[in-house]
Chain A
Amino acid sequence: MDLNQLLEEVKLLPEEDLEILAEKVSEIRDSRQKSQISRLRSDLDEVAEECSARNWDGIGAEPVSEDAVSYGRKFIDLLSSRSIDFADANVGVSATPTGEVFFDWPKRNSIFMVQIFSDGTVVYSSVGGSRKFKAKLKFDEIVSSSLFEDLITFLRS
């Protein structure tokens, strides 16, 4: 059965069945979201370990900063506490050659990026896509900033 056929059949369901279906879809999404957050935490732990020595990339990279990793962990905590639907996004976390922590949400023709520096500076930006997002802020300004709103808009576009 293709997706169009499935949608046609869903439309014929009685209202109470639709509610059950919506609940199930929501449960699956929540579960996948938790799994993504858990993977991000585990990936950041690996980044902290694998990139802790100078020249971890073989071409002169600096060790990833412990402070940047610590901010990175707090950033994942903030992500998990927001209702941001990125269960289907191929989010990545990695170290930069100058010691920062870097998150990216890639899509086919665009990317949303967040770079966290050791002093708590956060730069986020998008490339590609029809709308440009960009800002520089301090870590404790994240919650009051438009970062998460911009990420949600990017993921939905």
Chain B
Amino acid sequence: MPSRHVETCRFEVDRKRIDSVNKRLRPSSFLPRNGASGAPETSVIGIDSLSEEDIWRLGSLYVAPPGRKLKGRADFSAATVYELSLDLIDDNEIEGRHSNIVDWPEDRGQWIDIAGQLALNSRFSRNPEV
């Protein structure tokens, strides 16, 4: 089933994964972790119809580790994910807005190309509170 989200975002807490010159997240920010099933997945939040304030509220509440502030986020469309031959799987976490980017290729050598494309095709916003 396709994701119900059209626009998604990836939050970042690490300053080193922000390219402040070109104003975007660095590719390493989009690389997947090993999910609960062992399959690689990148966690994102659906942001359709949310205000800027609500997007940052969700990130601060559910994504930022205790004691750390979000530094920025990258917004990109679900279509970008599908164009890279990946999929978005929704779950009911984070007020029903959480999804994982899945179907990463078995060849890990291809992951950096995908992460690089996501970095180039997203729009960066700095957290106004930092």
- B6-49 vs A, Cβ < 8 Å mask (1 yes, 0 no): 00000001101101111010111101111100001001000000
Chain B residue at minimal CB-CB distance from A109: B120
User: Cα distance A127–B118 when bound, in Å?
Assistant: 10
Q: Report if A149 contacts B (CB, 8 A).
A: no
User: Cα distance A72–B68 when bound, in Å?
Assistant: 26
- A88-128 vs B, Cβ < 8 Å mask (1 yes, 0 no): 00101111111000101011111101010000000101111
Min Cβ gap B87→A in Å is 18
Q: Which of A23-63 contact B (CB under 8 A)?
A: 43, 46-47, 50, 55-62
User: Cα distance A106–B112 when bound, in Å?
Assistant: 13
Q: Report if B122 contacts A (CB, 8 A).
A: no
Check A127 against B22 for contact (C-beta < 8 Å): no
Check B33 against A59 for contact (C-beta < 8 Å): yes
User: Cα distance A94–B115 when bound, in Å?
Assistant: 14
Q: Report chain A residues within 8 Å CB of B20.
A: 90
Chain A residue at minimal CB-CB distance from B64: A58
Measuring CB to CB, which residues of chain B are less than 8 angstroms from any residue of chain A? Answer: 13-14, 16-17, 19-22, 24, 26-29, 31-35, 40, 43, 63-65, 68, 108-109, 111-113, 115-117, 119-120
Known: A92-B17, A92-B26, A96-B28. 9 other contacts (CB 8 A): A55-B65, A60-B43, A90-B22, A94-B28, A98-B33, A104-B27, A106-B21, A115-B111, A127-B27
Sample (18) of A-B pairs whose CB atoms are under 8 Å apart: A43-B16, A55-B65, A58-B68, A61-B33, A62-B33, A94-B14, A94-B29, A96-B28, A96-B31, A97-B34, A98-B33, A102-B31, A104-B19, A104-B27, A106-B21, A106-B26, A110-B120, A134-B109
Measuring CB to CB, which residues of chain A are less than 8 angstroms from any residue of chain B? Answer: 43, 46-47, 50, 55-62, 90, 92-98, 102, 104, 106-111, 113, 115, 123, 125-128, 134, 136
